[in-house]
Structure 1
Amino acid sequence: MLTFHKKKAMEICNGKKRRKVSGGVRVCRRSVAGKMKREVGKVLRSLTVEDNNHKEPMEEEEDDHCFSIGYLRNDRLEPSLVVSPRYNLLREVGRGSYGVVYEAIARKTGARVAVKRLQCDAPENVELALAEFWALTSLENRHQNVVQLEECVLQRKGLAQKMSHGNKKSRQYLRLVETSLKGERILGYPEEPCYLWFVMEFCEGGDLNQYILSRRPDPQTNRSFMRQLTSAVAFLHKNNIVHRDLKPDNILISQKSGSPVLKVADFGLSKVCAGLNTKNCEDHPIAGEDGKGSNQNNIVNINKFWLSSACGSDFYMAPEVWEGHYTAKADIFALGIIIWAMIERITFIDAESKRELLGTYIRQGTEIVPVGEALLENPKMVLHIPQRARSSMSEGVKKLLHDMLAVNPQDRPDAFQLEVRMDQVTCAA
């Protein structure tokens, strides 16, 4: 087990050079606001819920509360603090650079859900929130391996407004888009904060890191996860979505069916590429801003859409992403890194969080370097797959991983070819 020490590197983000710190840290997020402090014993005030197609408040619920949260010092919910909310927030289960995730209960159905709260206090936060909203709401069909968004609610000035995809009649929605595009603070002030709440399915099994590293190696589970991951990415690419931040942290585990089911999550860096010019996806408005669905032409080859922002997490970034000129094939590279690390349990200690994370790397003296960065520096470098002499990796899986991690994106299989080949090598293993 190695600790990845911090080192300075340069990134290109929207044409500007910016400093970043390596080690499982997200890049291309500009100056993300500081972490929001946990508020103990607080109950969100009464919220009038309205649909963003109507000016008058909705009367779906007999109460006018949307979310409620209450903590005691011992983290147990205080019954007296719950005042007929639509969702009761039970506990904090995760915290990122721009949001907090809670486990919650839907009052009407009793179902457990995950609720992500994003504070719209800076344009970069709004941009990330809208990217996730557009990606998840552009999906016309569900997929068992992609996290399901139940609803999105905008909270501002005591009102909770349901958000719908690309609704030009909603002033609040348009102001959010304007905030993102102009890069100016339009919504939310310290005295009147603005929040977006994402209500999603709850995954009680944690993330892929926690699940794999807390159990004994199981080849059957590995094969199942490999098929599920490739199926999810093929589904996203069919729907013209490039995830751009595939990593074990963003792969959640649901155990409702008795067997573990993977859920690809966190679409804050994703890009919906349908309907855009094939020369450069990011030179044009994001699909979905005009309210049109992104699935109008699934036969479009998503691998012809070029992206230019160096986004992702460094251990999983393809060589071309470090250069800032890439396609959806970058998702295939990230998937190869994840699967390789999962099979051989290759880990490092993240310098920021001190967590042990799954991730493959190249040793250079006393340092470890992300595979994509190492291949960028030395395109002729030969990857030794597997790393460990006693690995039980089949020849079919070895060859597939070599192809997924090819330095030239054109030499990698696309998501649909990968799904077919993955079924073949896992069934033969």
Structure 2
Amino acid sequence: MDICDGKKRRQVSGRGGGGGGARGCRRSAAVKMKRESGRVLRSLTVQDNNRAEPMEEVEEEEDEEEEEEEDCFSISFLRNDRLPEPAVAVSPPRYSLLREVGRGSYGVVYEAVARKTGAQVAVKRLQCDAPENVELALAEFWALTSLENRHQNVVQLEECVLQKKGLAQKMSHGNKRSRQYLRLVETSLKGERIPGHPEEPCYLWFVMEFCEGGDLNQYILSRRPDPQTNRSFMRQLTSAVAFLHKNNIVHRDLKPDNILISQKSGSPVLKVADFGLSKVCAGLNSKNCEERPAAGGGGGGQNNIVNINKFWLSSACGSDFYMAPEVWEGHYTAKADIFALGIIIWAMTERITFIDAESKRELLGTYIRQGAEIVPVGEALLENPKMVLHIPQRARSSMSEGLKKLLQDMLAVNPQDRPDASQLELRMGQVTCAA
């Protein structure tokens, strides 16, 4: 995740049709995780914590609060050749970690197998060793657990487990019986570290569906251009964002890195993932949230109905090439997700890319050339609101007039001129069917 408050040099990919450098962004303040010692590491043993269970005795020196903790369960470890055999018998772990498949600024993702069913899953391990890490982890947990229904284009969270001092506890949102959970919430809200022993860190483990197709960058750039696949992906992406906004979630970090591909059904299915910067807007109002309703908006009413496009958000977060002009100013609504989606679809359709200076990866992303530099579209529009975007970029592009007009509306400098997510889903269906 990139928090964009600085500048770095980037180079343009030859596939993107340009040269020079670009202004980039700083990494999030979250500390990068250290590499673990073995390829096959920890697996969790957790049980259903909807009913009270006796807590297994793990350490004699646990403090009084920990001894009173309810609904905790033992955690066992896979045998590693570098580690001695356990002194006592432990129950078999539920998941076997196979290999590392991804690494971000605050967590590591592994391919894993559920030992009981043999099902393939992804396990993300997040170390809650700093307030900024806790905030990102809880944001993802709250967003995914707030979804009452599933959507085929949103990554599915199977379970989340909190690990500390050799104990694992299955997490549930708002669990007031868990002191460990409440401490994490307090840490996130106050921005203060939890006093404790550094040699006994706290971890959150997210068990999610595994997407074997990699991310959108890898999938698109490793294959020949396919208009039919592009149209399918456009419909899937707009459907996912419409679903999230309907459920009062602003993603705030939509980019190809955070869009995964599942091929289990035989055809590629997109999965929007990585909700560490997301915001759940249900029930927000100016009294109980730092983010305030826009004029004419409200978070109350019967059935807690929320117009997500009426809430102003103030944290300037995201990744620079996909950030809307108003996000750079730190004053925006859910329409910022629509702008980011416009950038992604434009880049995917015309295969516009750049080379990331840090990772050296070729990434999908649209930009504006300014002399020897390339500048994110949102930043360029902020500097020059009257600038006209040339869509498509390439003279021989096969982009339809309907898609061209829709992208221009999605990338409007004024968010009020952009379609909302439900309008976008309807229009995208019409555009892709006409094509």
TM-score (norm 1): 0.84
CA displacement at 1:193 relative to structure 2: 1.2
Taking structure 1 as reference, are residues 293 and 56 closer, same or farther at Cα in structure 2, changes over 3 Å only? Answer: farther
Q: Against the structure 1 CA distance between its residues 25 and 189, is the aligned structure 2 distance closer, same or farther, given a 3 Å change threshold?
A: farther
TM-aligned CA deviation for residue 185 of structure 1 = 1.3
Residue 373 in 1 paired to residue 370 in 2? no
Distance 2:400 2:191 in 1: 50
Equivalent position to 1:17, from 5, 8, 11:
8
**Residues 190 and 109 of structure 1: CA distance in aligned 2, closer, same or farther (over 3 Å):** same
State the 1:21 CA deviation: 16
1:388 Cα offset (Å): 0.3
Q: Distance in 2 between matches of 1:287 and 1:122?
A: 36
Alignment of structure 1 residues 212-231 onto 2, 5 Å: 212-231=220-239
The separation in 2 between residues aligned to 1:280 and 1:24, in whole angstroms, is 43
Corresponding residue for residue 234 of structure 1: 242
Q: Can you list the C-alpha shifts for 1:99-144, whole angstroms capped at 9, x where unaligned?
A: 0000000111110000000000000000000000000000000000
1:75 is displaced (CA, Å) by: 13
SS of 1:79 mapped into structure 2: coil
DSSP 3-state at the match of 1:424: helix
Tell me by how many angstroms 1:281 deviates: 5.6
Per-residue Cα deviation, 1:19-57 (whole angstroms, up to 9, x for no partner)? 999999999998634322322337767966465555534
The 1:43/1:17 distance shift into structure 2, 3 A limit, reads: closer
Alpha-carbon separation, structure 1, partners of 2:5 and 2:356: 26
Once the two structures are superposed, residues 341-379 of structure 1 have per-residue CA deviations (whole angstroms, 9 ceiling, x without a partner) of 000000000111110000000000000000000000000
Q: 1:321 to 1:279 in 2, by over 3 A?
A: farther
Larger radius of gyration: 2
Farther-moved stretch of structure 1 (95-104 vs 57-66): 57-66
Residue 277 of structure 1, CA deviation? 1.7
CA distance in 2, matches of 1:170, 1:69: 17
Distance 1:238 1:359 in 2: 26
In structure 1, the residue corresponding to 2:8 is in which secondary structure?
A: strand
Contact 1:238 1:298 in 2 (8 A): no
3-state SS of 1:88 partner: strand
Contact 2:46 2:75 (C-alpha < 8 Å) held by counterparts: no
Matched, 1:343 2:349: yes
Give the conservation status (yes or no) of the 8 Å contact 1:75–1:91: no
| Cα offset, 1:12, TM superposition | 9.5
Bigger mean CA deviation after superposition, 158-167 or 186-195 = 186-195
- Over 3 Å counting, the alpha-carbon distance change for 1:391 and 1:298 in structure 2 is farther
**Structure 1's 75 and 403: CA in aligned 2 closer, same or farther, altered over 3 A?**
farther
Distance (whole Å) between structure 2 residues aligned to residue 20 and residue 52 of structure 1: 50
Deviation, 1:282, is 3.2
Q: Identify which range, 379-388 or 294-303, moves more after superposition.
A: 294-303
Report how many aligned residue pairs link the two structures: 418
CA contact (8 A) 2:2 2:28 kept: no
Cα gap change, 1:161 to 1:11, in 2 (>3 Å): closer
1:279 Cα offset (Å): 9.7
Most deviating of 222-231 and 297-306? 297-306
SS of 1:50's equivalent in the other structure is coil
Aligned 8 A contact 1:41 1:70 in 2: no
Q: Is the 8 A contact 2:53 2:72 kept in 1?
A: no
Preserved CA contact (<8 Å) 2:11 2:21: no
Structure with a larger share of its residues in strand: 1
Is this contact kept in 2: 1:245–1:270, CA < 8 A?
yes
The 1-side partners of 2:279 and 2:11 are apart by 22
Gaps of 5+ in 2: 14-19, 56-64
Q: Do 1:103 and 1:202's aligned partners in 2 also have CA atoms closer than 8 Å?
A: yes
Distance 1:260 1:311 in 2: 29
Shift of 1:292: 17
Retained in 1: the 8 A contact 2:322–2:376?
yes
> More displaced, 332-341 or 19-28?
19-28
Q: Which moved more, 1:316-325 or 1:29-38?
A: 29-38
- Taking the aligned partners of 2:287 and 2:370, their CA distance within structure 1 comes to 36
Contact 1:52-1:162 at 8 Å conserved across structures: yes
1:186-219 Cα offsets, whole Å, 9 max, x none, are 1664310110000000000000000000000000
Q: Using the alignment, how far apart are the partners of 2:105 and 2:292 within structure 1?
A: 27
Q: 1:179 to 1:212 in 2, by over 3 A?
A: same
Number of the residue aligned with 1:408? 414
CA contact 1:166–1:292 (8 Å) conserved in 2:
no
Contact 2:43-2:95 at 8 Å conserved across structures: no
1:6 matched residue in structure 2:
none
Q: Give the 3 Å change call, closer, same or farther, for CA 333–240 of structure 1 in structure 2.
A: same
Verify the 8 A CA contact 1:41 1:72 in the aligned structure 2.
no
Change (3 A) 1:24 1:181: farther
Instruction: For residue 87 of structure 2, give the secondary structure of its aligned residue in structure 1.
Output: helix
Cα shift readout 1:248-305 (whole Å, capped 9, x = no counterpart) = 00000000000000000000000000111279963479999xx999998474211001
Cα distance in 2 for residues equivalent to 1:20 and 1:280: 43
Identity of aligned pairs, percent? Answer: 90
Query: Aligned pair in 2 of structure 1 residues 98, 287: CA closer, same or farther (>3 Å)?
Result: farther
Instruction: Tell whether the 8 Å contact from 2:298 to 2:306 is kept in structure 1 after alignment.
Output: no
TM-score by length of 2: 0.83
**Distance in 2 between the 1:20 and 1:271 partners?**
32
Is contact 1:243–1:267 with CA below 8 Å preserved after alignment?
Answer: yes
CA–CA separation in structure 2 for the residues paired with 1:201 and 1:426 = 28
Determine the structure 2 residue equivalent to 1:52.
49
| Compared CA separation, residues 204 and 45, structure 1 to 2 (3 A) | closer
Contact 1:179 1:185 in 2 (8 A): yes
Superposed CA deviations along residues 157-204 of structure 1, whole A, max 9, x for unmatched, are: 000000001111111111110111111111664310110000000000
Residues 98 and 113 of structure 2 are in contact (CA less than 8 Å); yes or no, is this contact kept in structure 1? yes
Contact 1:123 1:180 in 2 (8 A): yes
